[in-house]
Structure 1
Amino acid sequence: MALAVDPLFFYALSIGRGGAPCLYMDGGLAAVVTVLRTCVDAVHLCHLWLQFRLAYVSRESLVVGCGKLVWDSRAIASHYVRSLKGFWFDAFVILPVPQAVFWLVVPKLIRDEKIKVIMTILLLIFLFQFLPKVYHSISLMRRMQKVTGYVFGTIWWGFGLNLIAYLIASHFQLPTGMVGDPCGGNSTMVRMPLCLDVNGPFNYGIYKWALPVISSNSLAVKILYPIFWGLMTLSTFGNDLEPTSHWLEVIFSIVTVLSGLMLFTLLIGNIQVFLHSVMAKKRKMQLRCRDMEWWMRRRQLPSQLRQRVRHFERQRWATMGGEDEMEMIKDLPQGLRRDIKRHLCLDLIKKIIREGDPVLRIMFIVRGRVKRAQSLSKGMVATSVLEPGGFLGDELLSYCLRRPFIDRLPASSATFICIESTEAFGLDAAHLRYITDHFRYKFANERLKRTARYYSSNWRTWAAVIIQLAWRRYRMRTLGPVIPAATENGGSERRLRRYAAMFMSIRPHDHLE
């Protein structure tokens, strides 16, 4: 927006056709453009004010660390003011130079009939402020990309930006070309009707296309016709330009040709990148299908299985575009992966570990409660609740302490289900093995052994069953049997019940002895 507003100031200069072709300034158009430019500068001014409140990363902290944010307001303001590409450059691009020139200088020069001076001043404004503003906009977009990782979200925005660059360049081409001597520097006196005639005696050169614009009072013609001419000139690399021997026209033509080549090359390159990104997944899918067909033919799979494989591949491509969900989220943080899985599959994520599955990590409960369910014999299930401070996956500790070491993860002895929202700290098998290998002598401590067994859910379940069995045996010795002794097989039945209770809970092995 800021780059598109400045060229509109050139349209404020018009040539009247009612009588003598006099140069005048269109006050209404100049006022509208001034308001637009002021609004854009106000947005830049808000950005400038924000920089005085925005924390920055100290360069000294980047030497031996990942960077430290500076939050002190005075240090932030001092850092921003001392930067040449910071405050001073931001303030320079919002200076109201075009507004001051068009409202204070140009009317006085028109009254003094100093047309060449006006054109020279306008060219200096272009070199003095517009080109630095282009560099400022590019630098701002690069800084945004460094902070956020992107400027615009989709590939179509990249294509649109290249097209906008083309339009802005074409928007500026003809007004700049119009800023010159409309009579080609020829001082020969000719009658007025021939002064703005293309077929007249004056050789306008590249300025002949500007005659319909500067002699028209229509704002639509003044804006649309230069855009058309600029697009045509840039797209054809200046083939329609016929400059005279005047050196300014030659330089302008050279710049136009080079600008067209540069913009066209960038546009084609970005379109190629866009098409490659769009077709890459489709090409990958085609290669996968071709390899799958070759493999099925080589293995001589029956036609029914081949049809099922093709149907699965088509369904996977239709739903996910050929991408693997787990592959896409595997590099995300564990908490984010957990939330995504909970959103996609809430019932499964409630089961932290299922009985019989390999134990990947030992987890310490920080917040929430976890239900432990262990299957016993005859369909019985022993349940308990783990509170904050407890842990699960203690089979992994036995796995790491076992000698000789067996590189096979242990199976979980119970199923753990979250009763409520739970937060836990996990220690992977590789990290736990590192601890047990380097601090093995610590585990020989009797106090540590008792503490580990006290908090172990496996040992607690086993101890509860043994205590319950001992209590029942004690009651039977002191108070007599609960059931009448006169049964057919009383002794053998009690022994069978006792052995069943003992075998229902196998004593855990933690290899701490």
Structure 2
Amino acid sequence: MYMQWTTSKSIKEWDELRMKMKSSQRQKQHKSMIKWITKKDFDSTTESKIMDYINKRYEEGEDVNVENLIPDLPLELQKEVKRHICLNLLKNLKIIKDNGLDKRTQLLHKICDSLQPKFYNDHCYIVKEGDPNDAVFLITKGIVWTYTSNNGEGSDSRHVERLEKGQYFGGKLLEWVLKPTDDDMRNLSILPVSSKTLKTHKKVEAFALMAHDFKKILESKFSLLGHEKLQSKAAIRVQRIWRQRRPKTDDDVVQDRAASL
């Protein structure tokens, strides 16, 4: 009887201790969540949706991983969060601007929706020099270093670059997908190799744009133009091809000379 009593008492004490530990852990999680939401500067509607979701998870007795919250959010809320964090970053990328994609809001929304949130501890390799480069990383928090090998010739600070919030790594891949030079590139049967190493200095939050996702979105971009615009673009393209292939007339020569003046 005594042994049974002491055993049941030990179990009860352990359960109480576990609940206290869990409560303490949730308080820390909640503080971290508030801090994360505040720093992201969400609008009041999105903020309320996130907090309602978190509170519901707590009520159901589930733990919440603050650093991996976004993939667990409802799909539509995920889109709101990723667009809020990443849309302006995408618009400001030079290669996006140079290709006229910064004005294509629907297209940029699709790219935001496809982004995969990534979290890395300090002093952690994200990409190593010589690895296949299959993603572009948008840095949204923390510090990373990117550098090239010195091939045993001693250190050279000219090869080291610091990347912070608002910057990105993997621009060569964007060019690879946007401007393929052969069928292998177009089908992504081959990928560029990273010429640099990407390593975290502090904890890093980033969003990865995978090559196959970017390619798929670009292939469907004409469907976002609407039927009339699509017909217009097709007509312009046909006219351009026809003009390039037909024999030039005297009028064409006169027009070309006039345009060059």
What is the TM-score of this pair, normalised by structure 1?
Answer: 0.18
Higher relative contact order (CA 8 A, sep 6+): 2
Higher strand proportion: 2
Higher helix share: 1
Give the structure with higher Rg (CA): 1
